[in-house]
A and B are shown apart, each in its own frame.
Chain A
Amino acid sequence: MSGAMGFLLWVKGPMFNIALAIFAIGLIARLVEIFLLGRAPNYAEPRAGEWGPGLRTMLSRTIADPGTFKRAPFNVVVGWVWHIGFLIALLLFIPHIELFKGVLGLYWPGLPNPVVDLVTAVTLITLLATLVHRLWHPVKRRISTTEDYLVWTIVFMVVLTGYLAYHRLVEPYPLALGMHILSAELMLIMLPFTKLTHIFTAFIARWYNGAAFGRKGVQS
């Protein structure tokens, strides 16, 4: 069997398994390494607890401080919009919830499709804006690496192919859906080995920061 349906069955079957295995191995290997290496022992007497400030900082650092917002309002607003949009499309689109239910057994209520559709369109536009800004802003352009562009491309492809598949803008549909699933699989494979790992490490890093400040009795 060949053609679009053969491609779809391949990405839904063997390829999904491969991507999931690489993702699980890579992500856990990196997290275990980070946890086992730990931090240098601090022999100073703690001035306050670690856990409270650590957990608080996990949340407080999510919102940019006024100084950062003043210096880079575009980064803050557009960054927020597309991250939230991506999460809504990923976690609250009903076919995606069915996928989580099928693989993890966990499920939750979703949003009506037109809402997810609108959010996806906004996400696509803001993602494009981030690329334009990255290319246009002299400092951003200088500090951007190949990995940054690679990560942007895969995230954009996942959202774009999803949008094309939902609106059935690519015929036949099994090809459109297959391309979307394959993009998501490539993202899963890349996730542990690129800066996409921040999906899991960002909050851990914030906890470390907050805990370190807390121990010293400093506000963070």
Chain B
Amino acid sequence: MANLKTPDKTLGEGLREIGLSRRGFLKFCAATASMMALPPNLVPAIAAALEQARRPSVIWLSFQECTGCTESLTRSHSPSVENLILDLVSLDYHHTLQAAAGEAAEEARLQAMEANRGQYLVIVDGSIPGPDANPGYSTVAGHSNYDILMETVEHAAAVIAVGTCAAFGGLPQAKPNPTGAMSVMDLVHDKPVINVSGCPPIPMVITGVLAHYLTFGRLPELDAYRRPMAFYGQSIHDRCYRRPFYDKGLFAESFDDAGAKLGWCLYRLGCKGPTTYNACATMRWNSGTSWPVESGHPCLGCSEPGFWDDAGFYEPVSVPIGVTSKTLIEGAAVGAVAGAGIAALARKAKKEAVANRQPVTIDELEQKL
């Protein structure tokens, strides 16, 4: 097993070694700055910081997941600057990508933890059966996901939850949540946790967070769900190129009508863009080729908590969840019985009043007064 201590070589040296030009490097720094909504005058600072940065040791833990997040990262257009950055992170443990297997693989994780105590980053994809759940739902090398996570994060510098399963519980946590799945932030409370949600997340967002960490030595500004503001600060709806059609009230009514062909808004087909915060509309997928809404499909809201349980993918945002006219009919039936009962009581009271009526004459009244 190679020495897993953070290498002495800086990122700048490493990049030059694999043949990245100064111009290419600065272009990357400029792209990183604009991606993270930083002012352009920070580009030289980013370049200087990245030049000097040491490759951090990264331990990638895969739990209840589908490997889609790893697929997203590795299928980014190659060779891309994302790949370069990833090559230059010391990825010491990753089920899918590491060569080692079995005992040797687990040994690599323990060695990296020991050698970089307090400095390594933990990336988690997949949700974790909680401490009260049956640990047998998901194990690695005979250990429960929960135990591995807790052991690994104990001396980590920070934890990055990649993908909606790790960030919010995702698909495994969807009702009825048979495995008692929990998110990383549900379980890890004493370390900085950053959520890079999405099913899967955009590759540039994963690398962007790493670049930010390398540049500034701290994690970026986060939103209420601990997602980096630079990528999750605006909703899909607000940045959608189909937004003018929403504003004009022009909607596709089905997937093959004239509106769909003209590229009108997909709100009525269930687009969750209004409630979803992600960078798809601006960064797009497959090296900026396209993104779901551009290809004619509504946004599923995959980067939001509870997206599997939020009505149906093809139900508009305004439609309530699990509510049908049955509620109204049943309520009306109960109401009819209640109303009839109240009316019957009122009639009875009226009848009794008529029956017990004691007429009074004017003379009697005058006597009383």
Contact = CB atoms under 8 A, between A and B. Distances in A.
B336 A28 contact: yes
B275 A112 contact: no
Interface in A12-70: 12-13, 16-17, 20-33, 36-37
A23 B331 contact: yes
B235 A21 contact: no
Interface residues of A, number: 48
> Most chain-B CB neighbours within 10 Å: which of A95, A96, A101?
A95
B319 interface: yes
Given A1-B305, A28-B332, A94-B267, A102 B319 contact: yes
B304 interface: yes
A95 B328 CA distance: 20
A110 B250 CA distance: 10
Given A4-B224, A104-B325, A9 B318 contact: no
> Most chain-A CB neighbours within 10 Å: which of B169, B223, B332?
B332
B310 A103 contact: no
A49 to B, nearest CB: 27
Interface string A166-203: 00100011100100000000000000000000000000
B248 A173 contact: no
A217 interface: no
Interface in B233-265: 235, 237-238, 246-251
B68 interface: no
Interface string B263-301: 000011000001101000000000000000000000000
Contacts of A102: 315-316, 318-320, 323
Given A94-B251, A94-B268, A31 B224 contact: no
Contacts of A33: 339-340, 342-343, 346
A58 B346 CA distance: 28
A33 B267 CA distance: 42
A96 B346 contact: no
A138 interface: no
A64 B323 CA distance: 39
A3 B274 contact: no
A205 interface: no
B328 A20 contact: yes
A114 B247 CA distance: 7
A73 interface: no
A25 B325 contact: no
Interface string A91-121: 0001110110111110000111111000000
A43 to B, nearest CB: 16
A103 B321 contact: no
A21 B332 CA distance: 8
Contact of B335 (A3, A12, A26, A105): A26
B305 A111 contact: no
B359 interface: no
A108 to B, nearest CB: 13
B176 to A, nearest CB: 14
A37 B347 contact: yes
B168 interface: yes
B343 A32 contact: yes
B317 interface: yes
B338 A25 contact: yes
B336 A98 contact: no
A12 to B, nearest CB: 5
A117 B245 CA distance: 15
17 contacts: A3-B224, A4-B224, A5-B306, A9-B306, A21-B330, A24-B327, A24-B330, A32-B340, A94-B267, A96-B318, A103-B328, A105-B325, A115-B249, A173-B237, A173-B275, A174-B275, A174-B304
Interface of B: 168-169, 223-225, 235, 237-238, 246-251, 267-268, 274-275, 277, 304-306, 309-311, 315-325, 327-336, 338-340, 342-344, 346-347
Interface of A: 1, 3-6, 8-9, 12-13, 16-17, 20-33, 36-37, 94-96, 98-99, 101-105, 110-115, 168, 172-174, 177
3 shortest A-B CB distances, which residue pairs?
A24-B331, A32-B339, A28-B335
Given A3-B224, A22-B331, A98-B267, 6 more contacts: A26-B335, A98-B318, A99-B320, A113-B248, A113-B249, A172-B224
